[in-house]
């Protein structure tokens, strides 16, 4: 095809893909159910008992954080997130956790306790279990989620 002396290329048309609506609805429903389940779990926090209570009491002494200015003050928020939202009961017999508690009881080196506890929580994935952002979870709307699922299913974006 020519137009004013120049050749126009005809691009091949892409046929529209049928939209898998039932898959779209199921994906939207599943993600919303997971988000709402996380919200419900965050409202019901495990009771602080045993080792978790002991660690919480040690970590929430403001004077210890003031005396150790080199420590990241945001670390306390992350520790409390784990202690308040994740049950440590399955880890109470863990040798590593027991050793770090015993070391702190024997030496009272707060900076070492923070470093050891941070390593323990990281190695066992406990930070990830407590990192649900409630504000973000509540901001997710069904229509927005449906659009994201549509884009993902149809366009592979």
DSSP character string of 70-111: TS-THHHHHHHHHHHHS--GGGTT-HHHHHHHHHHHHH--HH
- Number of independent structural domains in the chain: 1
* Residue 58 belongs to domain spanning: 21-155
Average pLDDT over residues 87-95: 87
Residue 75 lies in a domain: yes
User: Domain for residue 1, yes or no?
Assistant: no
Handedness of CA 7, 11, 13, 19 (dihedral sign): negative
Is 3 a member of any domain? no
pLDDT in tens, 103-120: 999 888 888 999 999 999
The model's pTM is 0.56
Span 32-89, pLDDT tens digits? 888 777 766 666 666 777 888 898 988 888 888 888 888 887 888 888 888 888 888 8
The verdict on residue 6 lying in a domain is no
26 found inside a domain: yes
Residue 93 lies in a domain: yes
């Amino acid at each position: 095809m020519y137009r004013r002396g120049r050749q126009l290329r005809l691009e091949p048309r892409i046929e529209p893909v049928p939209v898998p609506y039932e898959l779209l609805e199921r994906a939207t429903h599943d993600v919303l159910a997971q988000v709402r389940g996380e919200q419900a779990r965050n409202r019901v926090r495990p009771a602080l008992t045993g080792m978790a209570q002991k660690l919480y009491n040690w970590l929430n002494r403001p004077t210890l954080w003031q005396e150790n200015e080199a420590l990241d003050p945001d670390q306390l928020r992350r520790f409390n997130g784990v202690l308040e939202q994740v049950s440590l009961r399955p880890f109470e017999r863990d040798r590593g956790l027991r050793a770090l508690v015993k070391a702190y009881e024997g030496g009272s080196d707060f900076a070492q306790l923070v470093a050891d506890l941070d390593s323990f929580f990281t190695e066992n994935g406990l930070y990830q279990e407590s990192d649900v952002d409630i504000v973000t979870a509540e901001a997710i709307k069904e229509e927005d989620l449906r659009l994201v699922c549509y884009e993902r299913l149809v366009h592979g974006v």
